[in-house]
Amino acid sequence: MKKLSSQPASRGFTLIELIIVVTVILVISVITILNYNLYNDKQRVKQAGFSLRSDLRLAQTRAMSGQKPFNCDETTTLVSYEVTFSGCGTGACYQIQPLCMKAGIPVDTSASRTQMTLLSGVTFKESYQPIQFLSVTGVTNLNADQSIVLTGAGVTYTVNVSRSGSISDY
């Protein structure tokens, strides 16, 4: 004689099994999204640092090559390229402007000023003194090496400018 089972054959999943699977998928999704956002924040600050380093090197290269802007003619002397740091509107900015002299009098080169804005959410940690890259030599006017720190979302990135004009980052 066959034994009759009082339990029907199981088909499918129980409600508790489904809830556990959905909960595990949600936890993994939340962790992945948070890590992705943190990665994006780090990359945004890092990219702003790379751009700043590149722009500092551009100013230095222009100064070393003696590249005059259009409003400095052959009767003027290129003194330096100056990089200034400031806040602007909703974020942080820096400007690069050539400095020219004519017979000992500064020439207005404001039309040749280039302004760059840091990426959204990235700011300067503090205010920094302007950096001048002197014509022909490319050395700076700094009395001591200067570290420019960019911050955003708890992440920092530093660009160092030495008195000799060496530019590095980390």
Structural domains in the chain plus CATH codes: 15-169 (3.55.40.10)
Tell me: the pLDDT tens digits for 108-127?
A: 999 999 999 999 889 999 98
% residues pLDDT > 90 (the chain)? 75
Distance CA 146, CA 71 (A): 30
Convert 87-123 to b/e letters by CB count within 10 Å (16 or more is b). Answer: eeeeebebbbbbbbeeeeeebebeebeeebebbeebb
The average pLDDT across 17-24 equals 96
Average pLDDT of 86-90? 75
How large is the average pLDDT for residues 125-151? 94
Residue 105: is its pLDDT beyond 90?
A: yes
pLDDT of residue 59: 96
Which tokens go with 46?
């890092």
Residue 10, pLDDT above cutoff 80: no
**Global pTM value:** 0.81
State residue 133's pLDDT score. 97
CA 149 vs CA 9, 51, 86: distances in Å? 67, 13, 13
